[in-house]
Structure 1
Amino acid sequence: MGDIRSLDMDTATISKTFQGIREHFSGQRESTEMSIAHVLRTSHPGFDVTCTAKSDYDLLGYAKAGYATASEIFGEAFDATRTYVSPSTRAGDDAPKLRDNIRCGSWRYTWEENEFLLYEVYYHAPFQAPKQICFVLSPRSHGVTDRTSPVIDALLLAAGSWSAKLHNEICVFDNGAWKKSKKLWDSVQGSSWDDVILNQDMKANLIKDVQGFFDNEKLYKNLAVPWKRGLILHGVPGNGKTISIKALINTLYTRPDPVSSLYIKSFTCCAGEKFAIGEIFKRARKMAPCLLIFEDLDSLVRDKTRSYFLNEVDGLESNDGILMIGSTNHLDALDPAIAKRPSRFDRKYHFKLPNEAERSAYCQFWRKKLIDSDMVEFPEALCDIVAKLTEGFSFAYLKELFVISLLTVARGHTGEDDLVIVEEEKKDEKLGLERADNAKEVKAEDNAAEKSEGTAAPEKKPTVPEVAIPASLKDNTLLQILHSQTRMLLEEMDNTDQSKGKAGKAAEKDGGDAKNNFFIQRAQEGHLFGGDDDDE
């Protein structure tokens, strides 16, 4: 009979086992699992041996969560690389750590008063992704069937059920593999629809569509309608797509019956994009009901994978319980088979530039955050004025406007220097207009020539609207700084548009096409969770 406790003091058996595993890896190999299982049965004759995939059974994570205990019995023979783990941020409170990336290790494992030996082996097979396999050993005194141990099977069922669920995590698919991201889950905590400034009707409809889908499984079945839906969130960057998705993830997780979220960053995979698409929908079907999020759908689905993707979306296999959300900054770049065909992505939500009322509501949002601050005077009347000054601003630019203005106030800036700069700029504009009038006759012929060649007239440069400022607010420091920063951000917008235009012309000159220009634009915009462009 096997005795696990005796292994605590005597590591000779463990060392002998590691020696056998090393011998296997030092020469030609055909079946790693079979070879290691043979080594373990030889070195532990009183034990049943079961081989599993670590991806299916996170036994160490199960123990770390408090459902079992695991203690190392490596001795001096285990194989690992010790790595340095820096703090999450340079200014963070967490201390640096050392971590072992174990290639071969063993643990004494206790679950429900049953004791086991656990071996984990990490290795690379030729032309395959790295593998991590686990061997669970149990003393034969627990009983045995023809080929399995009942007590090992009971442990694997319990650990497997736990591993299949998300525990304050979001499933992320990237580089051909699924990972559970606690960091991404942390980033959506606190996201609330109260912080999302959108058209009220559109926001209410979006919430109703998502919550109603998961509330009405029985209704779908009673009506004999497939319980699946697809939504597309589209619009220029910076107008609320990301924060809306974060609010959706958080509110779905806080339901009485929490709904898991799966986030797709890319289809890139060494086995090919079709394999990746298959793995994505295979996992989604297992975790349904769930929210399946495709970041930048227009760049994910390409011509060579479009048919395969569409077959997974509405093919023969059931997608019951899957609500898909695809985000895109370029709806016109989406294939019509995805964007316009019913039963795939049924509803589209257009995140437009905010109108004056929405800009005023966003200013009120910032005012509420600063209501108790003694560093800045932020009267309510200021909100409508700022809303008028910021015509054409996205929520992302509005956020930048408030951030940089408040930082300027915090540095003790009074706003007087900005007024001087504004007056000088107005003089320069006036002088420029006078010079333009004097040169009008000279330019007339050039403009006529440009029009005859089909050259488009230059767009009008954006300017800050003229807004009447009440006497009570003319000396308000925050308003003066906001006004000045608005002008600067408008200049930045104008320069960005000009650089995009020049880049597009250069691409066309070099033989590029519309798709090249599209990718140039994409490089300047960022991704849903990869940047701050779309945070608000």
Structure 2
Amino acid sequence: MKQKQAIFQSHHLNKEANPHYNDYATAVQKVKNILQEQTGLHFKLYQSDMEMDQVFEAAEQMIMQNDSDIVHICSIYDNVSVATFRYTVVENYTVQPSIENNIFYFPKFDVALVKMPIYQSHEDFEENFLFASDDQSLLKFLNYLLEKQRQAMLKGISVFTDTDDGLIKTREKITQQIHREDVLLEENIKTDIFRSIDEFFLKSGAFFREYDIPYKRGILLYGSPGNGKTTLVKSIAGSVAAPTVYWQITENTSSYSIQEVFSTVTKMAPMVLVIEDIESMPDYARSAFLNALDGATSKEGIFLIGTTNYPEKIDPALINRAGRFDRAYEIKQPNDDLRKSYLHNKGLEKFLDMNQMELLVKKTKGLSISQLNEVYMSIALQWHYDQEIQIEKIVDDLLENQRKTKKQDWDLDEENIGRVGF
């Protein structure tokens, strides 16, 4: 046994077998020496393939927010950048230590993080290193960081987008709360959806336990664009005390990004996962997606909302099997009552009398909520400049513009064809 162990160690540590090991190990040892000098503790190095990126993402958010729980000890390499600057709407430009090439320490847990450049003759790369004084300290830190992430996610909507560079994660603040009464839907659909939401979140899943129902829920919202699917989602996000993740499916969605998304949201449960444009899931990733939906624990505590403008393009396997999506709701174009309610809420009575309002409701039949908003904008502009409102012309112009845009039937002067430019 000792001979086998010696061979194993020799194979991995011998400089001839691994000519660049010393370059790598020297940098790591230097970091451990600095940590010992600063804290008086010995540190062990830990690794996890799936978890490490999420740990460093959370730490970077804390650095950006100047969180007092994380301390900058020092930089590593002298001639490598150690700070980053970024523009924010609130503070304009700010300068902060970058997550790269710096040692960050959490004194409450005796845990340190380092995203360190590794320089070797054949390649340069960055690697994430997680140091802790012992296993228990590490576990306490990871649970703390998980709760920190959850609290941060409650302050807005986390947006995940699949790109050529991988899964990009951003956070958007809810700048304007959309109240439930402002959501324009048929009353029976609206009641059904919000009852499901309330039983899932506001009572901590007691309904599901009482009736022995699996603690997960999936609904699909479908319908033509501009009729309130996104508004409904924003209202849900702002009215529940749970994280909301908004996942944008693209042609870059892969089995890896699917695994990463479900790994993240499972740890954040109970929470809302919104999957936008679900019909856009690439064929090569559908099997991985269906497996994630069917996983024994992948949806536990998750309220899943899928949205699509093209329900006919959805893989039938998504909606024809129990446990994936429990209900599908059509978000229709607003009827007369909903259009009248919307136009009334926009305050059009200050421009129009009762007869004009009735005419406007009649003329806008077939328009979406977003198109009604454009009608309001046109009316306000015409009133502002001309002190008059031509309802029929405004609506007819909008309909004609919509027709041309949809069919790309543009009016072009034949003399100028081929000369369009800036």
**AA matched with 2:224:** V
1:57-94 CA distance string (max 9 Å, x none): 64565574655363564499262176663454xxxx75
Alignment counterpart, residue 286 of structure 1, candidates 249, 267, 275: 267
Secondary structure of the residue that 1:55 maps to in structure 2?
Answer: helix
Secondary structure of 2:169's partner?
A: strand
Structure 2 residue 265 is matched with structure 1 residue 266: no
2:331 maps to which of 346, 351, 356: 351
Offset of 1:170 from its aligned partner?
A: 2.9
Quote the residue 1:121 is aligned against: 116
After superposition, the Cα gap between the structure-2 partners of 1:402 and 1:200, relative to the gap in structure 1 and judged at 3 Å, is same
Q: Work out whether 1:392 is the aligned partner of 2:366.
A: yes
Higher mean alpha-carbon deviation, 33-42 vs 354-363, is at 33-42
1:231 positional shift? 0.6
Contact 2:72/2:102 (CA < 8 Å) preserved in 1? no
Match of 2:144 in 1: 158
Equivalent position to 1:179, from 169, 172, 178: 169
Matches within 5 A, 1:221-236: 221-236=209-224
Deviations 1:438-478 (CA, angstroms, capped at 9, x unpaired): xxxxxxxxxxxxxxxxxxxxxxxxxxxxxxxxxxxxxxx2x
Which of 407, 411, 418 matches 1:498? 407
- The whole-number CA distance in structure 2 between the counterparts of 1:342 and 1:37 is 50
Distance 1:282 1:389, change over 3 A: same
Q: Counterpart in 1 of 2:198?
A: 211
What's the secondary structure of 1:306's corresponding residue? Answer: helix
CA offsets per residue over residues 335-388 of structure 1, 9 Å max, x none?
Answer: 111133332111111111111111111111101xx77xxxx5344554322101
> 1:407 maps to what in 2?
381
Equivalent positions of 1:290-439 (< 5 A) are: 290-300=271-281, 302-317=282-297, 319-367=299-347, 377-410=351-384, 412-414=385-387
- Decide whether the 8 Å contact of 1:232 with 1:327 is kept in 2: yes
Which residue identity does 2:300 align to in structure 1?
Answer: D
Match for residue 102 of structure 2 among 99, 102, 105? 105
1:291–1:325: 8 Å Cα contact kept in structure 2? yes
Q: How much does 1:37 deviate?
A: 2.7
Aligned to 2:234: 246
Q: Secondary structure at the match of 1:323?
A: strand
Contact 2:81 2:101 in 1 (8 A): yes
8 Å Cα contact 2:216/2:302 also seen in 1: yes
Looking at structure 2, the residues matched to 287 and 59 of structure 1 have their Cα atoms a distance apart, in angstroms, of: 17
Aligned AA for 1:219? F
Q: 1:344 & 1:76 partners in 2: Cα distance?
A: 50
State the 1:123 CA deviation. Answer: 6.2
- The structural deviation recorded for 1:488 is 0.7
Work out whether 1:197 is the aligned partner of 2:171. no
Which residue does the alignment assign to 1:424? Answer: none
Give the 3-state SS of the residue equivalent to 1:247 in structure 2: helix
Residues 23, 119 of structure 2: 8 Å contact kept: no
Q: Which amino acid aligns with 1:206?
A: I
Letter matched to residue 277 of structure 1: I
CA drift of 1:334 comes to: 0.6
Alignment check: 8 A CA contact 2:199 2:205 kept: no
Q: CA deviation at 1:121?
A: 2.3
Q: How far off is 1:492 after superposition?
A: 0.9
Secondary structure (helix, strand or coil) at the match of 1:230 reads: strand
Quote how far apart the aligned CAs of 1:180 are.
Answer: 4.7
Kindly tell me: are residues 347 and 150 of structure 1, through their superposed partners in 2, closer, same or farther at Cα, counting changes over 3 Å? closer
Please give the per-residue CA displacement for 1:1-44, whole angstroms capped at 9, x wherever unaligned.
xxxxxxxxxxxxxxxxxxxxxxxxxx974598755332234555
Distance change >3 Å, CA 136–CA 245, structure 1 → 2: same
Matched, 1:49 2:36: no
Q: Give 1:303 shift.
A: 2.9
Give the superposed CA RMSD.
3.8
Q: Which has the larger radius of gyration?
A: 1
Question: 1:316, 1:152 → 2: CA distance?
Answer: 27
**1:484 partner letter:** K
Structure 1 position 39 matched with structure 2 position 30: yes
Question: In the superposition, relative to structure 1, how do residues 122 and 193 fare at CA in structure 2: closer, same or farther (>3 Å)?
Answer: farther
Question: Does structure 2 conserve the Cα–Cα contact (< 8 Å) formed by 1:231 and 1:348?
Answer: yes
Contact kept? 1:262, 1:292, Cα under 8 Å:
yes
Post-superposition offset of 1:317: 4.0
Task: Give CA-to-partner distance per residue, 1:274-310, whole Å, 9 cap, x none.
Answer: 122222222222111111111000012x333323222
Please state how far the C-alpha of 1:200 moved relative to its aligned partner.
1.9
Structure 2 CA distance for partners of 1:135 and 1:232, relative to 1, 3 Å:
closer
1:103 touches 1:123 (CA, 8 Å); kept in 2? no
Aligned length: 376
Read off the aligned partner of 2:102 and give its amino acid letter: G
Contact 1:267/1:277, CA 8 A, preserved across alignment: no
Q: Structure 1 31/365 Cα, relative in aligned 2: closer, same or farther at 3 Å?
A: farther
- The residue that corresponds to 2:415 in the other structure is none
CA contact (8 A) 2:174 2:238 kept: no
How far apart are the structure 1 equivalents of 2:93 and 2:327?
A: 47
The aligned amino acid for 2:378 is I
Q: 1:400: Cα distance to partner?
A: 0.7
Please, which runs of 5 or more residues in structure 1 have no aligned partner? 1-26, 138-143, 253-257, 415-476, 502-536
SS at match of 2:408: helix
Looking at structure 2, the residues matched to 267 and 78 of structure 1 have their Cα atoms a distance apart, in angstroms, of 39
Matched, 1:489 2:398: yes
Q: Which stretch shifts more, 389-398 or 189-198?
A: 189-198
Decide whether aligned partners of structure 1 residues 50 and 177 sit closer, same or farther in structure 2, where only a CA change above 3 A counts: farther
**In structure 1, distance between residues paired with 2:365 and 2:86:** 46
Identity %: 22
Query: Kindly tell me: are residues 405 and 51 of structure 1, through their superposed partners in 2, closer, same or farther at Cα, counting changes over 3 Å?
Result: farther
Q: In the alignment, which residue of structure 1 is the partner of 2:10?
A: none
Q: In 1, are the aligned partners of 2:219 and 2:304 still within 8 Å (CA)?
A: yes
The alpha carbon displacement at 1:122 in A equals 5.2
In 2, the alpha carbon distance for the partners of 1:312 and 1:205 equals 26
CA contact under 8 A between 2:82 and 2:101: conserved in structure 1?
A: no
Q: Which amino acid aligns with 2:336?
A: E
Contact 2:333/2:367 (<8 A) preserved: yes
